Amino acid sequence: MTNNIEHSNMVSSISSKKLEISVIIPVFNGGSSFKSCLSNLASAMPPPCEVIVVSDGDTDNSWLVAEQFGAVVLRLTTCNGPAKARNVGAQNARGDILFFIDADVTIYPDIIERVEKIFKENPELAAIIGSYDDAPLETNFLSQYKNLFHHYTHQTANEEAFTFWGACGAIRRDVFLAVGGFDESYRRPSIEDIELGYRLAKAGHKIRLCKDLQVKHLKHWFPLSLLKAEFFYRALPWVELILREGAKNDLNLGITSRLSVIAVYALTLALIASLWAPQFLIVVFGLSLLLVCLNLPVYRFFSEKRGFWFALRVIPWHWFYYLYGGLAVVIGTAHYFWYQNRFLKPDIINASKTSL
């Protein structure tokens, strides 16, 4: 009975303690989006205990903008990537909670209060992540599609997360330092946040996806920038990370996605075959119908948010997403096993010879 009372008092003490929150923003040539980010952050009520901006070798004087808004500015002379910048910010932070946001997002005024409340009410949580909202700033089709698809993916995912998210993610400072922070070998905006999430989960820490914790994305996407980021900086390294760590992808590798990848490649082959044998157009129609049915919830979501014609324009881009996603799996897997055989196998052989 006494132990129960002591435990209850301990939990009560933890939940009543004010948690200080340090906001950390890495920036490289942030431009007008970064200014909007800081201006918006200034309206947070209550404010964080500090805003730390790490200038990652920027050449557009983003650090001066940060100083004008009263942020703590840390400057790196060369661009090392957001992983390094976030680690530098974390090492200089004094808050109990490290709240990472990107330089191209804006927050809602009550987000600091809500982050603190979540951690106070859930002392077992090591980290939380949010999502983009459903009203991205840029109005061009590709920006709307990309950001809304990201929103949909997070809103339909399991709340028990296995990945972290640097655009809107908070973590207890002691836990962050204990696991070693972000992997600085990622020199570009890549999957450094996902990799951190895998290590947190592997160490037994709990991460929660808080679907109502949202930020607005300001990024303007172009076809080339989207493909470059998604294929080279996200998909390829993510495939290799999954193979290396045996980790799970809790966001976009469900059975529907896997079947859709197979169907898209079968559709592509059927389209090519139809150039010589028109009867394959029946197969094309059947596979197209299958893809629509498999992804109907996605297209219904876009229709509800932006109308029928917008949803219709989404379909080819969404199928293209499965096409280059599948290609990334093949290339990433081949590269991983080639690396294993090329560099690890000799070490195993040498070790065997030494033991003999």
DSSP annotation string for 40-83: HHTT-SSPPSEEEEEEES-SS-HHHHHHHTT-EEEEESS---HH
Q: How far is CA 93 from CA 24, 25, 273, in A?
A: 8, 12, 60
Distance of CA 29 to the CA centre of its chain: 20
| Per-residue pLDDT at 350 | 45
CA distance 56 to 79: 5
At 90-103, the pLDDT tens digits run: 999 999 999 999 99
Look at residue 165 and tell me whether its pLDDT is greater than 80. yes
Q: How many CB atoms lie within 10 A of CB 192?
A: 25
Distances (CA, A) of 241 to 49, 193, 196, 198: 35, 12, 11, 9
Per-residue pLDDT at 7 exceeds 60: no
Ranges for all domains in the chain classified under CATH 3.90.550.10? 2-221
DSSP code for 353: H
Judged against a pLDDT cut of 70, whether residue 356 lies above it is answered with no
Q: Is the model's pLDDT at 214 over the cut of 60?
A: yes
Rounded alpha-carbon distances, angstroms, from residue 176 to 52, 83, 85, 148, 213: 16, 13, 14, 30, 20
Phi/psi for 133 (5° steps) reads -80, 180
Pick the CATH number of 2-221 from 3.40.50.2300, 1.10.490.10, 3.40.50.720, 3.90.550.10: 3.90.550.10
Please report which confidence band the pLDDT of residue 336 belongs to, taking 50, 70 and 90 as the band edges. Answer: confident
* pLDDT category of residue 247 using cuts at 50, 70 and 90: low
Give the separation between CA 207 and CA 128, rounded to whole angstroms. Answer: 5
Q: pLDDT tens digit string along 11-45?
A: 444 456 789 999 999 999 999 999 999 999 999 99
Q: Rounded to 5 degrees, what angle do the CA atoms 287, 289, 292 make?
A: 110
pLDDT at 171 over 80: yes
**pLDDT at position 129 over 90:** yes
What b-and-e string marks burial along 107-127, b requiring 16 or more CB atoms within 10 Å of the CB? bbeebbeebbebbeeeeebbb
Q: What is the mean pLDDT of residues 232-259?
A: 80
Which token pair is 119?
A: 């951690």
- Rounded to the nearest integer, the mean pLDDT of the chain is 90
Encode pLDDT of 251-278 as tens digits: 556 789 999 999 999 999 999 999 999 9
**C-alpha span between 221 and 26 (Å, rounded):** 20
Average pLDDT over residues 183-201: 94
pLDDT computed for residue 243 by the predictor? 85
pLDDT tier, 250 (very low <50, low <70, confident <90, very high otherwise) = low
